[in-house]
Protein backbone atom coordinates (compact mmCIF):
# COMPACT_ATOMS: atom_id res chain seq x y z
CA UNK A 1 0.00 0.00 0.00
CA UNK A 2 0.99 3.63 -0.34
CA UNK A 3 0.70 5.89 2.68
CA UNK A 4 0.42 9.60 2.11
CA UNK A 5 2.13 12.03 4.44
CA UNK A 6 0.35 12.41 7.78
CA UNK A 7 -1.85 15.48 8.16
CA UNK A 8 -1.28 17.57 11.29
CA UNK A 9 -4.62 19.01 12.39
CA UNK A 10 -5.28 22.08 14.54
CA UNK A 11 -1.87 23.66 14.99
CA UNK A 12 -1.21 26.57 17.36
CA UNK A 13 0.74 29.41 15.75
CA UNK A 14 3.56 30.88 17.83
CA UNK A 15 5.57 33.82 16.52
CA UNK A 16 9.30 34.05 17.19
CA UNK A 17 11.07 37.34 16.44
CA UNK A 18 14.59 38.74 16.87
CA UNK A 19 14.41 42.42 17.84
CA UNK A 20 18.14 43.05 18.22
CA UNK A 21 18.09 46.09 15.93
CA UNK A 22 14.86 47.60 17.19
CA UNK A 23 15.49 47.13 20.93
CA UNK A 24 19.27 47.50 21.37
CA UNK A 25 19.03 51.13 22.43
CA UNK A 26 16.08 50.48 24.75
CA UNK A 27 17.44 47.47 26.60
CA UNK A 28 19.62 49.43 29.02
CA UNK A 29 16.69 51.68 29.90
CA UNK A 30 14.45 48.68 30.53
CA UNK A 31 17.09 47.03 32.72
CA UNK A 32 17.50 50.21 34.76
CA UNK A 33 13.73 50.53 35.13
CA UNK A 34 13.34 46.87 36.14
CA UNK A 35 16.06 47.03 38.81
CA UNK A 36 14.74 50.31 40.18
CA UNK A 37 11.24 48.97 40.53
CA UNK A 38 12.48 45.69 42.00
CA UNK A 39 14.67 47.47 44.57
CA UNK A 40 11.84 49.73 45.71
CA UNK A 41 9.28 46.88 45.40
CA UNK A 42 7.14 49.30 43.44
CA UNK A 43 3.63 47.83 43.28
CA UNK A 44 4.86 44.24 43.19
CA UNK A 45 2.21 41.68 42.33
CA UNK A 46 2.03 37.94 42.91
CA UNK A 47 0.40 35.82 40.23
CA UNK A 48 2.15 32.90 38.58
CA UNK A 49 5.56 33.98 39.87
CA UNK A 50 7.16 31.88 42.60
CA UNK A 51 9.66 34.27 44.08
CA UNK A 52 11.07 36.94 41.83
CA UNK A 53 9.59 40.33 41.10
CA UNK A 54 6.62 41.05 38.87
CA UNK A 55 5.71 44.68 38.48
CA UNK A 56 2.25 46.13 38.31
CA UNK A 57 1.16 47.40 34.89
CA UNK A 58 3.46 50.01 33.35
CA UNK A 59 1.66 53.18 32.32
CA UNK A 60 1.70 54.89 28.94
CA UNK A 61 3.02 57.98 30.72
CA UNK A 62 6.41 56.20 30.66
CA UNK A 63 8.04 57.25 27.38
CA UNK A 64 9.78 53.89 27.06
CA UNK A 65 6.42 52.11 27.25
CA UNK A 66 5.07 54.17 24.36
CA UNK A 67 8.18 53.37 22.30
CA UNK A 68 7.85 49.67 23.13
CA UNK A 69 4.20 49.56 22.10
CA UNK A 70 4.98 51.19 18.76
CA UNK A 71 7.53 48.49 17.97
CA UNK A 72 5.20 45.76 19.26
CA UNK A 73 2.33 46.82 17.03
CA UNK A 74 4.57 46.44 13.96
CA UNK A 75 5.55 42.95 15.16
CA UNK A 76 1.96 41.89 15.79
CA UNK A 77 0.81 43.26 12.43
CA UNK A 78 3.42 41.13 10.65
CA UNK A 79 2.51 38.09 12.72
CA UNK A 80 -1.21 38.63 12.07
CA UNK A 81 -0.66 38.67 8.32
CA UNK A 82 1.47 35.52 8.51
CA UNK A 83 -1.40 33.59 10.15
CA UNK A 84 -3.94 35.07 7.69
CA UNK A 85 -5.94 37.27 10.06
CA UNK A 86 -8.69 38.95 8.06
CA UNK A 87 -7.71 42.50 7.19
CA UNK A 88 -8.15 45.18 8.19
CA UNK A 89 -7.71 44.32 11.86
CA UNK A 90 -7.04 46.51 14.87
CA UNK A 91 -4.49 45.63 17.55
CA UNK A 92 -5.32 46.48 21.16
CA UNK A 93 -2.25 46.26 23.42
CA UNK A 94 -2.81 46.01 27.17
CA UNK A 95 -0.45 47.56 29.68
CA UNK A 96 2.84 45.61 29.93
CA UNK A 97 4.67 44.48 33.06
CA UNK A 98 8.27 43.62 33.97
CA UNK A 99 9.56 40.33 35.38
CA UNK A 100 12.83 39.83 37.27
CA UNK A 101 13.60 36.20 38.09
CA UNK A 102 16.68 35.62 40.21
CA UNK A 103 18.19 32.30 41.27
CA UNK A 104 15.59 29.52 41.77
CA UNK A 105 12.69 31.85 40.91
CA UNK A 106 10.16 30.47 38.44
CA UNK A 107 6.57 30.70 37.19
CA UNK A 108 3.95 27.99 37.60
CA UNK A 109 1.60 26.86 34.84
CA UNK A 110 -0.92 29.52 33.83
CA UNK A 111 -2.83 31.02 30.91
CA UNK A 112 -3.88 34.59 30.12
CA UNK A 113 -7.66 34.40 29.92
CA UNK A 114 -9.73 37.05 28.17
CA UNK A 115 -7.06 37.85 25.58
CA UNK A 116 -6.24 36.69 22.07
CA UNK A 117 -2.44 36.66 22.27
CA UNK A 118 0.26 37.06 24.88
CA UNK A 119 3.74 38.45 24.34
CA UNK A 120 7.05 38.13 26.15
CA UNK A 121 10.19 40.06 25.21
CA UNK A 122 13.52 38.91 26.68
CA UNK A 123 15.67 41.77 27.96
CA UNK A 124 18.32 39.67 29.71
CA UNK A 125 18.62 35.88 29.46
CA UNK A 126 21.66 34.42 31.26
CA UNK A 127 22.64 30.86 30.46
CA UNK A 128 20.62 28.27 32.43
CA UNK A 129 18.11 30.88 33.57
CA UNK A 130 15.08 28.72 32.75
CA UNK A 131 13.20 27.78 29.61
CA UNK A 132 9.70 28.85 28.61
CA UNK A 133 7.63 25.65 28.50
CA UNK A 134 4.29 25.24 26.72
CA UNK A 135 1.92 22.46 27.74
CA UNK A 136 -0.15 20.64 25.14
CA UNK A 137 -3.68 22.07 25.47
CA UNK A 138 -5.18 18.84 24.09
CA UNK A 139 -5.97 17.03 27.33
CA UNK A 140 -6.11 13.59 25.68
CA UNK A 141 -2.57 14.02 24.41
CA UNK A 142 -1.43 14.73 27.96
CA UNK A 143 -3.20 11.69 29.45
CA UNK A 144 -2.75 9.10 26.71
CA UNK A 145 -1.20 5.72 27.55
CA UNK A 146 0.47 5.48 24.13
CA UNK A 147 4.26 5.28 24.14
CA UNK A 148 6.36 6.93 21.43
CA UNK A 149 9.94 6.34 20.30
CA UNK A 150 10.18 9.97 19.28
CA UNK A 151 8.36 13.10 20.40
CA UNK A 152 7.72 15.97 18.06
CA UNK A 153 5.28 18.86 17.60
CA UNK A 154 2.18 16.69 17.31
CA UNK A 155 2.61 14.14 20.12
CA UNK A 156 4.61 16.00 22.79
CA UNK A 157 3.19 16.83 26.19
CA UNK A 158 5.55 19.79 26.48
CA UNK A 159 7.35 22.08 24.04
CA UNK A 160 10.52 23.67 25.47
CA UNK A 161 11.70 27.05 24.22
CA UNK A 162 15.14 28.40 25.10
CA UNK A 163 14.92 32.13 24.37
CA UNK A 164 17.83 34.45 23.73
CA UNK A 165 18.34 38.10 24.54
CA UNK A 166 16.26 40.34 22.22
CA UNK A 167 13.85 37.51 21.33
CA UNK A 168 10.12 38.18 21.31
CA UNK A 169 7.58 35.38 21.44
CA UNK A 170 3.88 35.84 20.69
CA UNK A 171 1.49 32.98 21.40
CA UNK A 172 -2.24 32.26 21.82
CA UNK A 173 -3.24 33.28 25.35
CA UNK A 174 -5.05 29.98 25.92
CA UNK A 175 -1.82 27.96 25.73
CA UNK A 176 -0.82 26.77 29.23
CA UNK A 177 2.80 27.65 29.95
CA UNK A 178 5.32 27.95 32.75
CA UNK A 179 8.91 29.10 33.29
CA UNK A 180 11.57 26.81 34.71
CA UNK A 181 13.64 27.86 37.76
CA UNK A 182 16.54 30.19 37.10
CA UNK A 183 19.70 28.20 37.86
CA UNK A 184 21.97 31.11 37.04
CA UNK A 185 23.44 33.58 39.53
CA UNK A 186 22.34 36.39 37.23
CA UNK A 187 18.77 37.74 36.91
CA UNK A 188 16.55 36.95 33.98
CA UNK A 189 14.53 40.00 32.89
CA UNK A 190 11.54 40.10 30.58
CA UNK A 191 8.75 42.41 29.51
CA UNK A 192 5.31 40.91 28.93
CA UNK A 193 1.83 41.97 27.89
CA UNK A 194 -1.47 40.72 26.47
CA UNK A 195 -3.34 41.90 23.42
CA UNK A 196 -6.56 41.45 21.51
CA UNK A 197 -7.52 41.75 17.85
CA UNK A 198 -10.73 43.18 16.42
CA UNK A 199 -12.04 43.40 12.86
CA UNK A 200 -14.47 45.82 11.28
CA UNK A 201 -17.09 43.06 11.05
CA UNK A 202 -18.14 40.51 13.63
CA UNK A 203 -16.92 37.13 12.35
CA UNK A 204 -19.83 35.37 14.08
CA UNK A 205 -22.34 37.31 12.01
CA UNK A 206 -20.58 37.55 8.67
CA UNK A 207 -17.58 35.69 7.30
In order along the chain (207 residues), what is the average pLDDT of each group of 10 residues?
88 95 94 94 88 94 93 97 93 96 97 96 98 92 86 89 97 97 98 93 60
- Count of CB atoms within 10 A of residue 196's CB? 14
| Strand, coil or helix: 89 | strand
CA distance 49 to 35: 17
| pLDDT, position 41 | 83
CA distance 57 to 139: 32
Three-class secondary structure assignment of 14-34? CEEEECHHHHHHHHHHHHHHH
| pLDDT, position 168 | 98
Strands (E), 38-138: 49-50, 53-54, 89-93, 97-101, 106-110, 117-124, 132-135
CA distance 124 to 127: 10
- Count of CB atoms within 10 A of residue 82's CB? 10
Fold classified for 15-199: Jelly Rolls (2.60.120)
What global pTM score does this model have?
Answer: 0.92
| pLDDT, position 190 | 98
| pLDDT, position 203 | 62
| pLDDT, position 207 | 54
Domain assignments of the chain as residue spans, ordered by start? 15-199
Amino acid sequence: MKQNENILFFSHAVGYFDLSEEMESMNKELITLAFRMEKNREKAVSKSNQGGYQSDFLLDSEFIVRRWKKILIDVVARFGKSIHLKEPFTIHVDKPWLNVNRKNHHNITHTHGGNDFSVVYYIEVPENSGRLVFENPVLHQRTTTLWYDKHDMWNSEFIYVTPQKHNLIIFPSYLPHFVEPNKSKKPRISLACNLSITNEKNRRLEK
